[in-house]
Amino acid sequence: MAVGSEQGHVAALVEAALGQRAAQQALTALTIAPSLLAEGSSIVSRAAFAMAMNIVLFHGLLERVPSGAAYVADTVARGGKVTFDHGALRTVRMPLGPTGALPPGEDAFTRIFLPLGYQLAGVYPLDRLKMTGRAYMHADAPEEIPQFFLSELHIDRFDPAFGEVAARVFGTSRDPLDAQTVGLLDSYARGEPVGFDRAAAALPILISAFDRQHDPVTLNDYEQLLARSHEAAWIATEGNAFNHATDRVPNVAALADRLRQEDWPIKDKIEISRNGRVRQTALRADPVERLFAGNELRQVPGSFYEFISRDVDPATGRLDLSFDASNATGIFAMTSVKS
């Protein structure tokens, strides 16, 4: 596919993945750095590919989160745009070895993130949830390309009975990456040039990694997981899909007040980081219907849409792109069955 002067790599990759109408909708809604949109040489940079991947993932989340889609539509109707700050996803780390055919825990995604230019930016113990969160920031454009907040649920921190259920549920996981896509990641990791056609072919495969890879869970196994960990139960039905996508806004408190007055399903409390520079809240997770093993249909918590405000770090003079373990723990409660 030849990329014309009117369309750079980011827009062309998004259109190839979503189709013209959905791509236009996604590109119109988001604030995207002009330098990323302008790239159109014969080679697709890792930054352009990463940005396109994030746009497609953001669009996918809105398809699953009606409240988020309604908010974005309202923002665009008001003449605004969304600054996509980060996407969050959850993984499972078994006590030993891989997760079915998937690499263990976060390794299933660091094999994607690192070749595309992401680097580890912070580790956040989520001990109350028996999880660890890690932030991955893009080296080439840290403020312009969304981060990933990648968390692992540590099965070895639960009792053996829970571990047996987890092994039964997540042990059926398949690896969605084919040899051609792994080859593309290897090329990026080695700094080799990647052409548009090759990038466009790999993008849908990489997007498919952000999904449930294991077989449908039985209702009995789901309830056993839920009794000990709402996060494990969520992964059992939703897999490695985006748990939430986050909109970076100037004043999250003022926005939350407005949304509450307009009867949006907004979280009651704003989470504030220990350093005071990062403030977060969210719309409550939209319920979804999932088909369990044995064709049992049940409503469970789906994903949600989050808001974040970041202040400048006076020590660096740059935007504080860090996270906070307490904030993350509070935000993760949005997918609790009780919420």
As a whole number, the mean pLDDT across the chain is 96
Q: How far apart are CA 180 and CA 278, in angstroms?
A: 40
Share of the chain above pLDDT 90, in %: 94
If DSSP codes are grouped into helix, strand and coil, which group holds residue 181?
A: helix
Q: How many helices (H) and strands (E) does the chain have?
A: 13, 12
Tokens representing 215?
């077989």
Q: How far is CA 329 from the centre of its chain?
A: 16
Question: Which class in CATH covers the domain with range 9-335?
Answer: alpha beta
Domain boundaries, the chain: 9-335
The number of CA neighbours under 13 Å toward the Cβ of 331 is 33
What integer pLDDT is reported at residue 1 of this predicted model? Answer: 40
**Per-residue pLDDT band at 126 (split at 50, 70, 90):** very high
pLDDT over 70 at 17, yes or no: yes
What integer pLDDT is reported at residue 6 of this predicted model? Answer: 62
Q: pLDDT, tens digit, for every residue of 267-314?
A: 999 999 999 999 999 999 999 999 999 999 999 999 999 999 999 999
Q: Other C-beta atoms within 10 Å of 264: how many?
A: 17
Predicted TM-score (pTM) of the model is 0.96
Q: Other C-beta atoms within 10 Å of 150: how many?
A: 25
| Residue 77, C-beta contacts closer than 8 angstroms, at least 6 positions apart | none
